[in-house]
């Protein structure tokens, strides 16, 4: 395996001390190193991270861009129309989720096959990062020569390439100076699974549940797999857009979208579209634990943002801060009674159900099942 600290220090010696990215569990230890030892700018989405890295280069930094291969698609716009056009080089590390033969989740299958092809199609030089420490050091020395010639260079990173690095305790994100007008009692915050159980219990039969990427979908599946559930295993940040399309196409059904805070942030612009069309049969819930829990617990920007006001300012006719599960149940009932596009925000505590499994049913089977269910007459 690569000795992560020595590897990071070697990158630093070559001048790479500025990182930007969105987490992937395969890159967790390199990210921890960067958070501990360098400048690390978290991205709400991978396009933002690539652009931040480009900006840092303009400021004289040699920058590193990190992402999961699923997020390479988000970064393809700046990589092709910013880095390439302006000849701004970046050193990239992209995880190889979905590598053939390692047994990964269905949402990674296609990207696992085409990650290299995508990089090649974008005319980016790349190679697989060796998990052998000495070889990896030689690879970055070679990559640096391309960066010096203003050419981007990417490494595709396989599972278990980096040795573990613990994250040091420090204040990563300055909190805003404005006072938050809501009282939060961390010890009383509900867990994600508690909230999901309540939603499932309190929704009507004619309500579809759309759950965001990562633990939200996986825990909803564990709470009780159901034909009215849709687990959005990939396309992070787009659950509410899928909900918008479904709610508009099927005004005779109700749709509840359950987002995580990082997913909400990833495509936040889409809120304005949800609000513009404002289907009354759409309820948008964000469960905010302030972290990317599904990829190892890295911070998000949510502690510094006011989602309730953001949704309201985007045009949602109702946008509410909830203090606990009971308020959530009340508001779901209220929305069922008098539907209007509603945004509900609830702080949750970090924590995952013990021995959390993954849906055994395939995404396309979930879709077929849901479409069949939507074809049923339920009064
Ligand atoms: C485009 C894209 N980038 C990155 C990922 C990897 N990823 C999966 S879940 C996740 C974190 C989600 O965080 P949040 O929405 O806050 O939910 P939590 O995990 O805390 O429940 C990330 C970064 C992904 N699936 N897709």
Question: Where do the DSSP E strands lie in the chain?
Answer: 16-21, 39-42, 62-67, 91-95, 125-128, 153-157, 207-211, 229-231, 254-260, 282-288, 291-292, 298-299, 318-322, 342-347
**126 and 210 assigned to the same domain:** no
pLDDT at 184: 63
Q: Do residues 196 and 148 both lie within one domain?
A: no
Using most ligand atoms within 8 A of CB, pick from 213, 220, 350 the residue to mutate for ligand 1. Answer: 213
pLDDT tens column, 112-124: 999 999 999 999 9
Cα 32–Cα 212–Cα 341 angle in degrees, nearest 5: 130
Q: Over range 245-257, report the average pLDDT.
A: 94
Pocket test for ligand 1, best of 237, 262, 265, 346 (most atoms within 8 A of CB): 262
Do residue 153 and residue 237 come from a single domain? no
pLDDT above 60 for 345:
yes
Ligand 1 centroid vs 218 CA: distance in angstroms?
12
For the segment 281-305, the average pLDDT, to the nearest whole number, is 95
For residue 144, the model assigns a pLDDT of: 98
Of 157, 175, 203, which one is at a domain's C-terminal end? 157
One domain, residues 101 and 249: no
**In terms of pLDDT, which residue wins out, 187 or 67?**
67
Q: Mean pLDDT check: name the lowest of 41-45, 168-172, 363-367.
A: 168-172
Q: Examine residue 67 and state whether it is found in any structural domain, yes or no.
A: yes
- C-alpha 279/C-alpha 244 separation (Å) is 7
Asked, for residue 9, whether it belongs to a domain, the answer is yes
pLDDT at residue 36 is higher than 80: yes
- pLDDT on residue 377: 74
**Does residue 174 register a pLDDT over 70?**
no
CATH number of the domain bearing residue 207: 3.40.50.970
Asked whether residue 369 is assigned to any structural domain, the reply reads yes
Residue 176 vs residue 140, higher pLDDT? 140
Q: Is the pLDDT of residue 173 over 80?
A: no
pLDDT tens-digit series, residues 302-324: 988 999 999 999 999 999 999 99
Same domain, 85 and 220: no
Indicate which residue's Cα is closest to atom 15 of ligand 1: 260
Average pLDDT of the chain?
93
Whether 253 shows a pLDDT value over 90: the answer reads: yes
In this structure, the residue with its CA closest to atom 22 of ligand 1 is 295
Indicate whether 193 and 325 sit together in one domain. Answer: yes
Domain limit, last residue, from 157, 176, 196: 157
Q: What is the DSSP letter of 352?
A: -
Asked whether residue 169 is assigned to any structural domain, the reply reads no
Residue 166 in any domain: the answer is no
Q: Does the pLDDT at position 181 exceed 80? A: no
| Model confidence at 183: pLDDT above 90 | no
**Ligand 1 atom at minimal distance to the Cα of residue 234:** 25
User: Looking at 136, 157, 178, which one is the last position of a domain?
Assistant: 157
Contact 192, 337 (CB under 8 A): no
Q: Are residues 147 and 213 in the same domain?
A: no
**Cβ–Cβ under 8 Å, residues 162 and 2:** yes
Is the CB–ligand 1 distance for residue 23 below 6 Å? yes
On whether residue 270 sits in a domain, the answer given is yes
CA 375 to the chain's CA centroid: 31
Both 216 and 341 in one domain: the answer is: yes
Quick one: pLDDT at residue 172? 58
Q: For atom 9 of ligand 1, which residue has the closest CA?
A: 214
Determine, yes or no, domain membership for 48. Answer: yes
Residues 134 and 238 in one domain: no
Could you tell me the residue range of the domain that residue 95 belongs to? 4-157
In a domain, residue 180? The reply is: no
Residues 6+ apart with CB under 8 A from 84: 122, 123, 152
Looking at the structure, tell me whether residues 323 and 367 fall in a common domain. Answer: yes
Identify whether residues 195 and 148 lie together within a single domain. no
- In this prediction, residues 144-161 reach a mean pLDDT of 98
Give the number of the atom of ligand 1 that is nearest the alpha carbon of residue 302: 16
Q: Is 181 helix (H, G, I), strand (E, B) or coil?
A: coil
Domain count, the chain: 2
The finding on whether 217 has its CB within 6 A of some atom of ligand 1 is no
Ligand 1 atom with minimal separation from the 25 CA: 6
- pLDDT per position as a tens digit, 59-68: 899 999 999 9
My answer on whether 70 and 208 are in the same domain is no
């Amino acid at each position: 395996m690569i000795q992560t600290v020595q590897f990071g220090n070697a990158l630093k010696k070559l001048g790479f001390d500025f990182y930007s990215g969105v987490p992937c569990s395969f890159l967790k230890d390199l990210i921890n190193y960067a958070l501990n030892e360098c400048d690390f700018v978290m991205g709400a989405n991978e396009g933002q991270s690539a652009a931040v890295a480009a900006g840092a280069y303009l400021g004289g930094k040699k920058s590193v861009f990190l992402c999961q291969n699923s997020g390479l698609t988000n970064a393809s716009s700046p990589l092709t129309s910013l880095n390439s056009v302006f000849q701004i080089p970046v050193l990239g590390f992209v995880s190889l989720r979905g590598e053939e033969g390692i047994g990964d989740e269905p949402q990674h299958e296609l990207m696992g096959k085409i990650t290299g092809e995508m990089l090649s199609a974008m005319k980016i030089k790349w190679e697989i990062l060796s998990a052998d420490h000495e070889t990896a050091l030689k690879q970055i020395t070679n990559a640096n020569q391309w960066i010096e010639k203003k050419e981007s260079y990417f490494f595709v990173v396989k599972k278990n390439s980096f040795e573990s690095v613990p994250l040091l305790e420090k204040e990563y994100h300055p909190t805003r100076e404005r006072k938050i007008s809501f009282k939060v009692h961390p010890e009383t915050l509900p867990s994600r699974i508690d909230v999901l159980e309540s939603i499932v219990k309190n929704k009507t039969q004619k309500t579809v549940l759309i759950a965001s990427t990562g633990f939200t979908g996986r825990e909803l599946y564990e709470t009780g797999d159901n034909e009215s559930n849709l687990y959005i295993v990939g396309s992070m940040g787009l659950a509410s857009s899928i909900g918008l399309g479904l709610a508009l196409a099927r005004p005779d059904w109700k749709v509840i979208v359950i987002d995580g805070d990082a997913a909400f942030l990833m495509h936040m612009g889409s809120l304005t579209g949800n609000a513009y069309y404002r289907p009354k049969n759409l309820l948008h819930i964000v469960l905010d634990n302030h972290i990317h829990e599904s990829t190892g617990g890295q911070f998000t920007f949510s502690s510094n943002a006011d989602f309730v006001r953001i949704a309201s300012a985007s045009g949602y006719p109702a946008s509410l801060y909830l203090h606990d599960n009971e308020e959530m149940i009340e508001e779901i009932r209220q929305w069922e009674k008098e539907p209007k596009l509603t945004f509900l925000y609830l702080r949750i505590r970090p924590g995952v159900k013990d021995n959390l499994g993954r849906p055994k049913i395939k995404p396309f089977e979930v879709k077929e099942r849901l479409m069949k269910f939507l074809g049923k007459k339920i009064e």
